[in-house]
């Protein structure tokens, strides 16, 4: 006979967790995708070149950094170096992901690294940095990573194609680009806990503004390095000796409903 009591609430699986964590972030990813799609076509790329760039490069900030240089006829090495510098923050992100993929084959590891994104790394940092890397938890992580990467990739490509093929219908200054920045802010807000986090963000904010005029988007890379350095400096030595260290508690209402 069925119990009249409500069944206990099921714990979320890693796929559902990925959906739950990255839902708001996908708004950001989608807007960035549309903005980048529009920018590529406005820069003079044919629709198929723009589609090729979206599929092959899959890095909005690097694409947006390279486009003005391509339009101005800059030499290829300058375009490549600029993209490399903008992308360098992912080198730091990927180093952080490395322990989780240690047991995967090299090609699979490279593929996973290549499809990782800002939004995904933020979500992973919030959910997985705390705790062990046991075999069972690694399996959960892998599933979470696969689902979140697939969501990000599909959302980015679809929205980028919308921008490429329908961008001409939007008014010239629709304010859409800033909505993408606003969406990035909402990724950042839940992480602002503790002195090291605030020190990191304050440093990166000031340095990124001061160094904005530097060529090749060097200011972005230097901001990341200095922000991380300040966070390290503000982290108590006892915490530093533990690796991985506990992250600030994830937001209970949104990130960990289980």
Contact between 170 and other proteins (CB under 8 A)? no
What is the Cα–Cα distance from 103 to 12, expressed in whole angstroms? 25
Question: Which residues from 187-206 bind other proteins, rule CB under 8 A?
Answer: 187-192, 196-197, 200-201, 203-205
| Residue among 1 and 56 whose Cβ is closer to other proteins | 56
Q: How many CB atoms lie within 10 A of CB 188?
A: 12
- For residues 127 and 256, is the Cβ–Cβ distance under 8 A? yes
Question: 129-132 long-range contacts, Cβ below 8 Å, gap at least 24?
Answer: 129/244, 129/245, 129/246, 129/247, 130/244, 130/246, 130/247
Judged by CB under 8 A, does residue 258 bind other proteins?
A: no
Q: How many CB atoms lie within 10 A of CB 23?
A: 11
Q: Quote the least distance from Cβ 4 to other proteins, whole Å.
A: 34
Number of residues that bind other proteins (CB under 8 A): 103
Alpha-carbon gap, residue 141 to 126, rounded angstroms: 12
Interactions with other proteins, residue window 21-40 (CB under 8 A): 23-24, 27-28
* Interaction residues for other proteins, span 109-128 (CB under 8 A): 109-116, 118, 121-122, 125
- Contacts (Cβ under 8 Å, ≥6 apart) of 113: 90, 94, 97, 101
* Burial class (CB within 10 angstroms; exposed 0-12, middle 13-18, buried 19+) of 40: buried
Tokens of 118: 């800002």
**Contact between 9 and other proteins per CB under 8 A:** no
* Alpha carbon distance, N-terminus to C-terminus of the chain: 28
Selected binder of other proteins within 139, 181, 249, 257 (CB under 8 A) = 181
Binding mask 131-160 for other proteins (x = CB under 8 A): ------------------------------
Q: Which is nearer to other proteins, 6 or 48 (CB)?
A: 48
Taking CB under 8 A as the criterion, the residue among 4, 5, 9, 56 binding other proteins is 56
Which residue from 35, 38, 90, 145 is in contact with other proteins, where contact means CB under 8 A? 90
Based on the shown chain and the rule CB under 8 A, indicate whether residue 45 belongs to the binding site for other proteins: yes
Residue from 29, 35, 41, 83 binding other proteins (CB under 8 A): 83
Torsion of CA 26, 31, 37, 39, to 10 degrees: -140
Give the interface segment with other proteins, choosing from 1-9, 139-147, 157-165, 218-226 (CB under 8 A). 218-226
Out of 33, 34, 35, 101, the residue judged to bind other proteins by CB under 8 A = 101
């Amino acid at each position: 006979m069925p119990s009249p009591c409500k069944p206990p609430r099921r714990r979320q699986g890693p796929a559902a967790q990925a959906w739950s964590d990255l839902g708001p972030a996908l708004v950001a990813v989608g807007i960035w995708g549309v903005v980048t799609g529009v920018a590529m076509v406005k820069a003079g790329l044919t629709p198929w070149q723009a589609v090729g760039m979206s599929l092959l490069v899959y890095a909005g900030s690097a694409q947006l950094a390279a486009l003005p240089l391509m339009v101005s006829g800059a030499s290829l090495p300058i375009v490549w170096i600029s993209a490399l510098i903008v992308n360098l923050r992912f080198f730091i992100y990927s180093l952080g992901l490395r322990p989780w993929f240690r047991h995967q084959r090299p090609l699979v590891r490279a593929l996973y690294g290549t499809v990782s994104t800002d939004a995904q790394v933020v979500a992973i940092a919030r959910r997985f940095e705390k705790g062990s890397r046991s075999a069972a938890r690694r399996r959960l992580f892998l599933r979470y990573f696969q689902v979140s990467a697939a969501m990000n990739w599909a959302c980015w490509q679809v929205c980028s194609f919308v921008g490429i093929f329908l961008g001409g219908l939007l008014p010239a200054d629709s304010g859409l680009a800033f909505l993408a920045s606003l969406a990035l802010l909402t990724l950042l807000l839940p992480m602002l806990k503790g002195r090291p986090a605030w020190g990191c963000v304050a440093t990166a904010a000031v340095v990124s503004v001061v160094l904005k005029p530097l060529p090749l988007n060097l200011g972005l890379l230097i901001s990341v390095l200095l922000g991380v350095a300040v966070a390290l400096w503000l982290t108590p030595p006892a915490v530093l000796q533990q690796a991985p260290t506990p992250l600030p508690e994830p937001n209970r209402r949104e990130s960990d409903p289980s």
